[in-house]
């Protein structure tokens, strides 16, 4: 039987080697700390001839032995010198519209667009640069995830100008808030920094802002944000986009002008960095101590820059030169590695870097923290409450549905792309002035089905929702869609997810999760992800970077759905992956829809032969449009079978309800 035309909405073959885990900034298991350092001369020129012997590193005021040393440089990489192949650069542009007037907003967008044109995509040295966009505007929201598409970024930049409600995953650095005080901005920046922890290498956050007032009660949230940026190895480059109050000149030596409003309170060391040649670097000063109740708005900017290894652009007059320097700097730094002393997991330590050469300035992050990023609810009363709910027999009063499709990412690891739909009428909101506010806490545990029930995977999360009355009414018309990704080893598990929305309002779902072992060289088949929406890849753009791996085939992307129920007017799609080891041993796919009660075939899509490229191991993503319109209401079972020429076959099934 031939394959019906129009059934496959997109098909792409992608032959890829199994992904290797990128080395983290700090991973206590490997006992290595990596410190990125930018070194410039008095004239602002990058110093490219330093060796490991020229650097000294202190942790908690104790000097450490440098054991590894490399330099990232687009110039030398292009010439084939010591730096090798530059790493991909990741930059986040954050536009704080709430702190700008209309004219400043226009200026910020124009300069951001020029920066995108000059920096996105491949650089002259061969390094790829990816840029993401976020805004403070009726809340903090990620409007475009990392991409190398300049046109998409500028289109998003143009469209992200109005205040709209946000429904986002707080873990992804996108929690909504209608209170745009400095305190809330620092909290949102902290969440953004946490999300950047999954991105390899050094990152840059370019913060376009205006009147970000400083006060003593912002010390704690600002210090927490700086700590999070340091932990994720991300440098912050704050920009005051307002016109200068007096003539200013951009100084390439320290990334700031000699004039303008405000100054970093803490001495005469260059703002945003410390000097080499024997002078004390800024890394030994707590940036939060720079704030005082009577300080100017720029003190917060200097504290963010000094604490993370960036620099400040003080005013609009500095924008062109300052942004050019930010772009150049992403491939002009040294990477120093050392083995740290034993310390408690989760502890944080002060860093100080010095260069033994006169006339130089060195900028580096001021601290690092051991261990992986903590879940949002770890150690909180909210986590303990959800743990109690998970252990109880009660199912709760918040209705929801759940799907757990999985996909292999290596021989002993699979990722689970959790999708959940929560009934909106069960979410409890607080009415604050003209805004309705709610927070939903989530705890997920995959416990071994046999033995001692040890957790194979665990996560906690928080969603923050803010609406006005009109937005609230529109939001209630559809279930709340939630996605989360976690990695797990093959095995048999009982997965439990518990979620609460204030008081006694909570829900609990339990579902078995079985992931078969997989080894390269064997035919394998992923789980099945069902969805109702397909769109151009990147159009959704809310996730920063692989917080949830997109389900993409060619240039199309499926939004996975937590429900298996479809109505006649809706479209139904399915995404899955086939793993084939040998191009000479081609695989084939058969798809059928069976009656859920009798097992009779209600639709047969026939067989399609899959031919991976000759690159060896291959992952083939497949997308399928399900023909539900001709089917009568009832229960069905989607059946997908993969087979190779040796006779080995694998099968996945997924229940479907048609209303």
The C-alpha atoms of residue 78 and residue 63 are separated, in whole angstroms, by 34
Residues 559 and 598 in one domain: yes
- Positive or negative: CA dihedral 228, 234, 201, 204: positive
Residues 271 and 329 in one domain: yes
Q: Tell me the mean pLDDT in the region 487-511.
A: 92
CATH number at residue 207: 3.40.50.410
- Say how many domains are in the chain: 3
Residues 635 and 535 in one domain: yes
The C-alpha atoms of residue 53 and residue 67 are separated, in whole angstroms, by 11
Out of 288-302, 339-353, 473-487, 626-640, pick the least confident. 288-302
DSSP 317: G
Residues 166 and 309 in one domain: yes
pTM of the model: 0.54
CATH number at residue 380: 2.60.40.10
CATH number at residue 550: 2.60.40.3880
**Amino acid 497: pLDDT:** 96
**Amino acid 345: pLDDT:** 65
Number of Cβ within a 10 Å radius of residue 603: 17
Length of the chain: 659
Residues 183 and 272 in one domain: yes
pLDDT digits (tens, 9 = 90+) for 35-52: 888 898 988 888 999 999
Out of 197-206, 461-470, 579-588, 607-616, pick the least confident. 607-616
SS3 282: helix
Q: Could you tell me if residue 27 is inside a domain? A: no
Residues 273 and 329 in one domain: yes
Does position 583 have pLDDT exceeding 70, yes or no? no
Q: Could you tell me if residue 44 is inside a domain? A: no
Contact 196, 202 (CB under 8 A): no
Domain closes at, from 304, 336, 369: 369
Q: Could you tell me if residue 93 is inside a domain? A: yes
The C-alpha atoms of residue 88 and residue 129 are separated, in whole angstroms, by 6
Does position 410 have pLDDT exceeding 60, yes or no? yes
Domain closes at, from 493, 519, 545: 519
Q: Could you tell me if residue 41 is inside a domain? A: no
CA distance to 35, 127, 221, 270, 294, per residue, from 309 (Å): 10, 21, 18, 12, 25
Residues 504 and 532 in one domain: no
Residues 332 and 414 in one domain: no
Domain closes at, from 338, 369, 400: 369
Does position 212 have pLDDT exceeding 60, yes or no? yes
**Amino acid 584: pLDDT:** 67
Q: Could you tell me if residue 60 is inside a domain? A: no
Beta bridge partners, 459, equal: 444
pLDDT digits (tens, 9 = 90+) for 155-175: 888 876 543 333 333 333 333
> What proportion of the chain, given as a percentage, has pLDDT over 70?
74
Number of Cβ within a 10 Å radius of residue 124: 10
Contact 338, 67 (CB under 8 A): yes
Residues 3 and 121 in one domain: no
**More confident position, 362 or 137:** 362
CA distance to 424, 441, 564, 566, 567, per residue, from 659 (Å): 20, 31, 11, 6, 5
SS3 367: strand
Q: Could you tell me if residue 173 is inside a domain? A: yes
Residues 359 and 386 in one domain: no
Listed in order, strand segments (DSSP E) in 356-405 are 360-364, 367-369, 400-403
Q: Which domain holds residue 601?
A: 1-18+524-659
Residues 288 and 191 in one domain: yes
User: Which stretches of 341-421 are DSSP H helices?
Assistant: 381-391
Residues 436 and 292 in one domain: no
pLDDT digits (tens, 9 = 90+) for 104-133: 999 999 999 999 999 886 544 445 788 999
Q: Could you tell me if residue 46 is inside a domain? A: no
């Amino acid at each position: 039987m031939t394959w019906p035309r129009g059934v496959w909405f997109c098909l792409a073959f992608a032959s890829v080697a199994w992904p290797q885990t990128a080395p983290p900034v700090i991973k206590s298991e490997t006992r290595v700390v990596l410190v990125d350092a930018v070194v410039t001369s008095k004239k602002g020129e990058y110093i490219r001839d330093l060796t490991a012997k020229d650097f000294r590193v202190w942790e908690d005021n104790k000097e450490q032995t440098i054991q590894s040393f490399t330099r990232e440089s687009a110039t030398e990489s292009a010439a084939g010198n010591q730096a090798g192949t530059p790493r991909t650069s990741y930059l986040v542009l954050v536009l704080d519209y709430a702190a700008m007037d209309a004219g400043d907003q226009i200026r910020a967008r124009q300069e951001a667009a020029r920066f995108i044109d000059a920096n996105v995509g491949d650089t002259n040295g061969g390094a790829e640069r990816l840029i993401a966009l976020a805004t403070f505007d009726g809340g903090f929201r990620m409007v475009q995830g990392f991409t190398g598409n300049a046109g998409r970024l500028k289109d998003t930049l143009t469209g992200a100008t109005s205040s709209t409600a946000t429904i986002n995953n707080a873990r992804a650095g996108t929690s909504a808030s209608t209170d745009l005080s400095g305190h809330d901005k620092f909290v949102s920046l902290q969440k953004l920094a946490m999300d950047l922890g999954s991105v390899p290498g050094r990152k840059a956050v370019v913060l376009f802002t205006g009147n970000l007032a400083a006060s003593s009660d912002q010390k704690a949230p600002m210090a927490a944000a700086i700590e999070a940026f340091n932990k994720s190895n991300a440098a912050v480059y704050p920009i005051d986009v307002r016109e200068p109050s007096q003539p200013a000149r951009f100084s390439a030596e320290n990334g700031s002008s000699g004039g303008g409003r405000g100054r970093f309170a803490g001495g005469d060391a260059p703002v945003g960095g410390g000097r080499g040649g024997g002078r004390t670097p800024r890394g030994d000063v707590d940036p939060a101590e720079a704030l005082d109740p009577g300080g100017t708005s720029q003190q917060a900017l200097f504290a963010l820059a000094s604490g993370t290894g960036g620099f400040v652009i003080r005013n609009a007059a500095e924008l062109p030169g300052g942004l050019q320097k930010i772009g150049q700097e992403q491939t002009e730094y040294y990477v120093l590695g050392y083995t740290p002393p034993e310390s408690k997991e989760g502890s944080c330590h002060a860093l100080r870097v010095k260069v033994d050469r006169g006339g130089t300035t060195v900028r580096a992050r001021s601290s690092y923290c051991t261990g992986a990023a903590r879940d949002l609810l770890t150690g909180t009363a909210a986590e303990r409450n959800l743990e109690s709910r998970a252990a109880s027999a009660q199912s709760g009063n918040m209705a929801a549905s759940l799907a757990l499709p999985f996909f292999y990412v290596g021989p002993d690891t699979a990722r689970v792309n959790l999708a959940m739909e929560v009934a909106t009428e069960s979410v409890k909101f607080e009415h604050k002035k003209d805004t309705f506010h709610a927070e939903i806490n989530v705890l997920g545990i995959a416990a071994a089905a046999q033995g001692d029930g040890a957790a194979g995977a665990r996560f906690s999360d928080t969603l923050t929702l803010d609406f006005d009355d009109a937005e609230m009414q529109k939001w209630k018309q559809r279930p709340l869609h939630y996605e989360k990704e976690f990695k797990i080893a093959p095995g048999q598990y009982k997965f439990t997810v518990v979620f609460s929305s204030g008081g006694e309002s909570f829900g609990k779902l339990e579902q078995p999760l079985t992931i078969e072992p997989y080894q390269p060289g064997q035919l394998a088949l992923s789980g099945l992800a069902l969805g109702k929406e397909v769109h151009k890849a990147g159009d959704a753009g809310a996730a920063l970077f692989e917080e949830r791996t997109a389900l993409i085939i060619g240039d199309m992307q499926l939004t996975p759905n937590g429900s298996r129920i479809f109505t006649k007017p809706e479209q139904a799609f399915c995404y899955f992956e086939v793993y084939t080891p040998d191009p000479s041993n081609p695989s084939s796919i058969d798809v059928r829809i069976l009656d859920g009660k009798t097992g009779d075939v209600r639709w047969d899509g026939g067989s399609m032969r899959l031919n991976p490229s000759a690159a060896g191991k291959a992952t083939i993503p497949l997308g399928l449009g399900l023909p539900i319109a001709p089917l009568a209401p009832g229960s069905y079972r989607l059946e997908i079978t993969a087979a190779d020429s040796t006779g080995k076959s694998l099968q996945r099934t997924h229940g479907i309800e048609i209303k």
